[in-house]
């Protein structure tokens, strides 16, 4: 579900990253003599520090169980939330039933290291008895131990009502579902809307240009009567206001990745709202370092570590294993150390966040916002 290309962001010139390299700790020289940051898998020292936190990743999509994959999760001492979502563009995610079966299989094989995040099929929104049927499915998953429910950007950006209007997250048809999630004390993960470039004229320099070229269903600019990003986020906020007992975690920085002031206002305003960092680490990397450190320190109770890592039947095993570890290693260096971190050919200085803050972002906040994500007996 990642839509962000790092190089495109850099082309936008959001930040002169090079200015922040002065205090960077040990920087290896490349063959050409240019300063390079650290990249690659964890060193044994880094791995010891990472695993000591009891790291949790609250945003993954795993639809496949493999011993080598379970071994990786164990070696990294990870707990993960495995999220199902219905996507009519992806043959492996069209059927909620088949996808859920695979994900539950993985969760049951995980020795308590994976928890399940359920969903419902929003493409059935016009069916009679839609909400009751959705709740029956969710309650079946809750009975089996599911701890959360995901809604996705197809609500607001793809699915239309009988009049051809995009259905928004606060459509009354969803109200009984939100009430049921809150009544069961489960958490709602809301990935609604997308980066702003989805609503802007085509721009090859945009970080999302190739994503929308390949996935035109999510490109809103030329759509007749699209919902605006502001409208969709306002509908999401309306759900927060109407469901004060509902814990909501906004995926991908709550789709406010490009405006940390807007995100701060939301976190100030809604005590039942937190956000995950999934697939938006480059936005943190590109924001002015002092500012992003101050932001993280201020909102340290409402930011939850996550990646959007995926492991599906279509993936090759070994490259995926490597990709998962590289993601955790890169993010760890950036958040926890002052090292120069190499990311897709660029070098940024790590934030060196204090230990107690790292502990919240990597562990405590996930436990608080997703009760049950770590089994109590584990």
157 binds Zn ion (CB under 5 A): no
258 binds Zn ion (CB under 5 A): no
CA distance linking residue 241 with residue 334, whole number of Å: 34
Cβ proximity to Zn ion: between 1 and 335 the closer is 1
Cβ proximity to Zn ion: between 59 and 302 the closer is 59
Residue 71 Cβ vs Zn ion, minimum distance, rounded to whole Å: 24
CA distance linking residue 68 with residue 228, whole number of Å: 43
What is the token pair recorded at 33? Answer: 């003599």
Residue 285 Cβ vs Zn ion, minimum distance, rounded to whole Å: 19
Contact of 10 with 18, CB cutoff 8 Å: no
275 binds Zn ion (CB under 5 A): no
Which residue's C-beta sits nearest to Zn ion? 1
What is the token pair recorded at 119? Answer: 């969903």
Residue 60 Cβ vs Zn ion, minimum distance, rounded to whole Å: 8
342 binds Zn ion (CB under 5 A): no
372 SS3 class: coil
Contact of 157 with 220, CB cutoff 8 Å: yes
Cβ proximity to Zn ion: between 58 and 347 the closer is 58
Residue 23 Cβ vs Zn ion, minimum distance, rounded to whole Å: 34
**Which residue from 191, 221, 192, 226 is spatially nearest to 209, judged by alpha carbons?**
221
Cβ proximity to Zn ion: between 46 and 208 the closer is 208
Cβ proximity to Zn ion: between 85 and 358 the closer is 85
Cβ proximity to Zn ion: between 10 and 251 the closer is 251
Q: Return contacts of 332-337, CB within 8 angstroms, 24+ apart.
A: 332/42, 332/46, 332/49, 332/50, 333/38, 333/46, 334/281, 334/284, 334/285, 335/305, 335/361, 336/49, 336/50, 337/25, 337/46
Residue 61 Cβ vs Zn ion, minimum distance, rounded to whole Å: 6
Tell me which of 82, 99, 308, 342 binds Zn ion, using CB under 5 A.
308
Q: Are strands 340-343 and 346-349 parallel, antiparallel or unpaired?
A: antiparallel
Contact of 44 with 372, CB cutoff 8 Å: no
DSSP symbols for 272-314: TEEEE-TT-HHHHHHS-HHHHHHHHHHTTTSEE----EEE-TT
194 binds Zn ion (CB under 5 A): no
Angle between helices 260-269 and 289-298 (to 10 degrees): 10
Residue 192 Cβ vs Zn ion, minimum distance, rounded to whole Å: 12
Please identify, among the stretches 28-36, 107-115, 141-149, 300-308, the one whose residues bind Zn ion according to the rule CB under 5 A. Answer: 300-308
1 binds Zn ion (CB under 5 A): yes
Give the per-residue contact string, 226-255, with Zn ion (x = CB under 5 A; - = no).
------------------------------
Question: In the complex, which residues of this chain contact Zn ion (CB under 5 A)?
Answer: 1, 308
């Amino acid at each position: 579900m990642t839509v962000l290309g790092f190089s495109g962001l850099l082309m936008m010139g959001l930040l002169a990253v090079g200015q922040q390299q002065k205090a960077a700790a040990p920087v290896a020289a490349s063959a050409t003599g240019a300063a390079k940051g650290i990249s690659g898998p964890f060193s044994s020292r880094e791995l010891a520090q990472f695993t000591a936190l009891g790291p949790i990743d609250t945003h993954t999509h795993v639809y496949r169980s493999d011993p080598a994959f379970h071994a990786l999760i164990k070696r990294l001492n990870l707990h993960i939330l495995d999220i199902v979502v219905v996507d009519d563009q992806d043959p492996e995610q069209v059927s909620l039933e088949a996808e859920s079966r695979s994900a539950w299989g993985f969760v049951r094989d995980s020795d308590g290291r994976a928890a399940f995040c359920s969903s419902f099929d929003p493409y059935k929104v016009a069916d009679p008895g839609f909400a009751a049927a959705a709740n029956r499915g969710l309650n079946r998953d809750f009975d089996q131990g599911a701890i959360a429910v995901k809604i996705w950007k197809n609500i607001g950006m793809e699915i239309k009502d009988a009049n051809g209007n995009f259905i928004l997250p606060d459509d009354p048809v969803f109200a009984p579902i939100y009430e049921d999630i809150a009544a069961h004390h489960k958490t709602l993960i809301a990935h609604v809307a997308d980066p702003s470039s989805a609503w802007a004229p085509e721009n090859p320099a945009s970080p999302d240009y190739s994503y929308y070229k390949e996935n035109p269903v999510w490109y809103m600019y030329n759509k007749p009567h699209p919902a605006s990003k502001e409208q969709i986020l306002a509908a999401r906020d309306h759900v927060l206001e109407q469901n004060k007992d509902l814990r909501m975690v906004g995926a991908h920085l709550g789709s406010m990745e490009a405006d940390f002031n807007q995100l701060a206002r939301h976190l100030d305003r809604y005590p039942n709202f937190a956000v995950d960092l999934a697939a938006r680490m480059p936005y943190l990397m590109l924001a002015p370092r002092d500012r992003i450190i101050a932001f993280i320190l201020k909102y340290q109770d409402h930011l939850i570590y996550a990646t959007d890592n995926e492991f599906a039947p279509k993936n090759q095993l070994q490259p995926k294993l490597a990709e998962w570890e590289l993601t955790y290693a890169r993010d760890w260096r950036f958040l926890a150390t002052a090292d120069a971190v190499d990311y897709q050919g660029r070098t940024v200085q790590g934030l060196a966040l204090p230990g107690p803050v790292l502990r919240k972002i990597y562990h405590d906040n996930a436990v608080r916002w997703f009760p049950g994500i770590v089994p109590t007996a584990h």
